Amino acid sequence: MDVKIRFAEEVDQKYLVEWLLQPGVLEGFPLTDLREIEDAARIWMSYTKQNGVLTAVVDGVPCGIANLYLQPYKKLSHQCLFAIIVDEKYRGKGVGTKLLTELLTLAKERFKLELLHLEVYEGNPAIRLYERFGFQQYGFQRHFVKDQGGYRGKIMMQKTL
């Protein structure tokens, strides 16, 4: 499978919303309904203006998006939170690896970031991907999200670039 990575375009927002609506995906995000999903997607895609969002494409069809939540404040501009999502049909096929590889390059070379960090809920299979890339856990917040009557903790991970 030939995965191409390009800068995201605002039209990619519809795919992001679609992927967030796929079964089980919201277990990894603190969103509950379409209004919240559309709001989160709008914020996520707002970083396209700075070329801080990448889209993975296979055969001309978007299949994943990763973004850098770039900091507007000078004292914080050396570090950045990021997020990534891959269409369920393309998971486990190298799309996330390719997106994360390109995102790390973008973060370091274009934005001169020194540190990337992420938040992931315990039990998320993507943790293995982050560990393969050298991200290390630096914190854990128990009972972070309450969903369907139960709680899940948030794992905070980071990587020095």
Digit-coded pLDDT (tens) for 45-83: 999 999 999 999 999 999 999 999 999 999 999 999 999
Which helix (H) or strand (E) segment holds residue 64: the answer is strand 61-69
Band (27; pLDDT cuts 50, 70, 90): confident
Indicate the pTM of the whole model: 0.94
For tokens 């393969």, name the residue.
132
Helix ranges (H only) for 28-107 are 34-45, 95-105
Q: What is the mean pLDDT of residues 109-122?
A: 96
How open is the CA angle 107-91-118, to the nearest 5 degrees?
A: 35
CA 73 – CA 109 distance, rounded (Å): 19
% of the chain surpassing 90 pLDDT: 87
pLDDT at 157: 98
pLDDT at 123 over 90: no
At the top level of CATH, which class does the domain 3-160 belong to? alpha beta
Band (150; pLDDT cuts 50, 70, 90): confident
pLDDT at 154: 96
